[in-house]
A = this chain, B = another copy of it.
Amino acid sequence: MVYVGIDLGGTSIKAGLVDEQGKILCKATCPTLVERGARPVVDDMAKLSLEVIEKGGYTLDDVKAIGVGLPGIQDPRTGIVPFCTNLYWHEVPVIEWMQETINKPIYIGNDATVAGLAESVAGVSAGIENSVFLTLGTGVGGGIVLGGKVYSGTNGVGSELGHMITVIDGELCTCGNRGCWERYASATALIRMGREAAEKHPESRIAASVNGRLDDITAKTVIDAAKAGDEAANEVFERYVYYLCAGLVNIINFIDPEVIVLGGGVSHAGQFLLDAVNRRLPSMVFYKTMPYARVALATLGNDAGIIGAAMLGR
């Protein structure tokens, strides 16, 4: 049997035909065009599903299930998607609409959750029972796999790890609270801290590498300058790693996974990031002589969304 996985983002809809082992057999994509509303987007997801099945040389009979990863959540009581903020979706019956065209079991998962599932099936945490996946991107997304299965909580509102309050009364978050972890551990946070440092230190490599155009500073600007030994950049990066580790420690002290997988933009810093985390983390964990979660880099990259969505139905 094969599976269809759909990665629904604000820019494009990506679909893939995926085998039992999480290997992508073929792919198809189309633009999301958010502005046309939910219904045509869902119809396109169904159309793309049929397209990849045919492209792969299979028929609907060979397909066990279809999975959709999206930037929102599903209400486990109704199967409806109550919110998809980036897509301006509100109360969208994704499963019902898709099943009008394709009579197959359809599963829905949050994009970070689905990426975590992908890593736990075919990536760096393959075969591991309990893992936590983090996307360090515009925000911080979280995916929890417990006992080999996606864990989204009783009401489907769990694993919002970016919204752990770690700096009470700190930076205002889009969620209305202050001091959420993602205000300090996302790529956005690293950029903000990098710009502040460049403003204070116009002689720094961060500022120089963008010719003083501070708006051009990206996470990579800061990381590259830190790698090159720039003092201001290193200070920012160490501070960022401290914030990151605060949340990692919270995850360890809370559900004690076997592995924490780092994905998203900042994770492209690679071993440089991992080394910094592994210098800081040991002194912060609670039980200092007991084993605790290994921190690893995601390996599936952009394919994680398709693979994980497909694996929802496995």
Contacts and interface: CB of A to CB of B under 8 A. Distances in A.
A122 interface: no
A89 interface: no
Contacts of A199: none
Number of copies of chain A assembled together:
2
B165 A250 contact: yes
A166 B163 contact: no
Contacts of A43: none
Nearest to A147: B147
Contacts of A164: 164, 250, 253-254
A291 interface: yes
A245 to B, nearest CB: 9
Interface string A205-242: 00000000000000000000000000000000000000
Given A166-B166, A167-B168, A155 B290 contact: yes
Contact of A153 (B167, B177, B256): B256
Interface in A120-167: 129-130, 144, 146, 151-161, 163-167
Nearest to A255: B158
Q: Which of A163, A165, A249 has the most CB of B within 10 A?
A: A165
A142 to B, nearest CB: 8
Given A160-B253, A167-B168, A284-B177, A258 B154 contact: yes
A157 B254 contact: no
Contacts of A83: 287
Given A83-B287, A286-B163, A287-B73, A246 B168 contact: yes
Contacts of A250: 164-165, 250
Contacts of A249: 163, 165, 177
Contacts of A258: 154-155
B151 A255 contact: yes
A286 B142 CA distance: 14
Smallest CB-CB A-B distances: 9 pairs? A153-B256, A158-B256, A160-B253, A154-B258, A165-B246, A164-B250, A157-B287, A163-B253, A155-B291
8 contacts: A82-B289, A129-B154, A152-B256, A157-B287, A158-B254, A163-B249, A165-B250, A166-B168
Interface of A: 73, 75, 82-83, 129-130, 144, 146, 151-161, 163-168, 170, 175-177, 184, 243, 246-247, 249-250, 252-258, 283-287, 289-293
Given A73-B287, A160-B253, A176-B284, 5 more contacts: A82-B290, A161-B253, A163-B249, A163-B253, A164-B250
